[in-house]
């Protein structure tokens, strides 16, 4: 049996019924494409990913390097801060945890700044990047990830709002502090947990130091 995500409550407002749907979200069968700015056109042959910053072994990977590593296919729900959710989205890629194990984060590393082709940035805690279902995804529903979806490779962080799943990812920089990215600098929540409705930042960011990203051009 498939339950609808919402029904009309006593006061005429939507009530969440599906336990998979975070508060304030509605389910859509469509998969909207939201991008601030132009879509970068990055050929697979030209794509590179750097894992750098506070690591013992910096990495520079080509697309072929990524495909040569252990691949994971998983199905997860996808929640946008604009309040829509698409359920059961199937991705394929490489766990960020596996790449970080290769790079060997230093003990002082606590967070990362993720940078994209096109200049977009977003911040993540290291513990979020180390979750087993966080991927560098190159395939969506069995097909190569198209440019408008973030291809050739995007980050997938399914337990946080979608702006954290940076499209066209090119660099992961490990840091000893929280450095706010593009949307975070403009008032979005520093972490973005949909189950806590962390849409916008209220109050101070809980970090001992904050540095704003130097490259904060739009592009998610």
* CATH number, residue 65: 3.90.420.10
Could you tell me the residue range of the domain that residue 63 belongs to?
23-212
Stated pTM of the model: 0.87
Decide if 4 is inside a domain.
no
- 89 burial (CB, 10 Å; 0-12 / 13-18 / 19+) is middle
Strands (E), 54-189: 59-62, 72-79, 84-95, 111-116, 121-125, 135-140, 143-144, 154-156, 169-175, 178-180
Decide if 1 is inside a domain.
no
Decide if 219 is inside a domain.
no
pLDDT, tens digit (0-9, with 9 covering 90-100), for 125-141: 999 999 999 999 999 99
pLDDT, tens digit (0-9, with 9 covering 90-100), for 124-181: 999 999 999 999 999 999 999 999 999 999 999 999 999 999 999 999 999 999 999 9
Residue-level pLDDT at 120: 96
Residue-level pLDDT at 211: 60
Decide if 14 is inside a domain.
no
pLDDT, tens digit (0-9, with 9 covering 90-100), for 187-198: 999 999 999 999
Strand 210-212 relative to strand 178-180: parallel, antiparallel, unpaired? parallel
Residue-level pLDDT at 130: 98
Number of domains composing the chain: 1
Residue-level pLDDT at 11: 32
- pLDDT reading at 6 higher than 50: no
């Amino acid at each position: 049996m498939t339950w609808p995500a919402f029904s009309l409550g006593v006061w005429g407002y939507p009530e969440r019924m599906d336990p998979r749907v975070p508060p304030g979200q509605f389910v859509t069968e469509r998969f909207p494409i939201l991008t601030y700015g132009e879509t970068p056109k990055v050929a697979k042959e030209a794509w590179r990913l750097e894992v750098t910053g506070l690591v013992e072994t910096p990495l520079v990977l080509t697309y072929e390097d990524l495909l040569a590593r252990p691949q994971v296919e998983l199905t997860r729900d996808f929640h946008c801060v604009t309040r829509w959710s698409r359920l059961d989205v199937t991705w394929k890629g490489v766990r960020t945890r596996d790449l970080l194990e290769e790079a060997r984060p230093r003990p002082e590393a606590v967070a990362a700044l993720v940078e994209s082709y096109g200049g977009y940035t977003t911040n993540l805690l290291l513990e979020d990047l180390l979750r087993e279902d966080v991927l560098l995804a190159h395939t969506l529903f069995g097909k190569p990830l198209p440019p408008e979806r973030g291809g050739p490779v995007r980050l997938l962080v399914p337990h946080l709002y979608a702006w954290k799943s940076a499209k066209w990812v090119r660099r992961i920089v490990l840091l000893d502090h929280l450095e706010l990215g593009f949307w975070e600098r403009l008032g979005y929540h520093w972490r973005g947990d949909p189950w806590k409705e962390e849409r916008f930042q209220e109050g101070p960011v809980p970090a001992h130091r904050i540095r704003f990203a130097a490259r904060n051009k739009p592009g998610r």
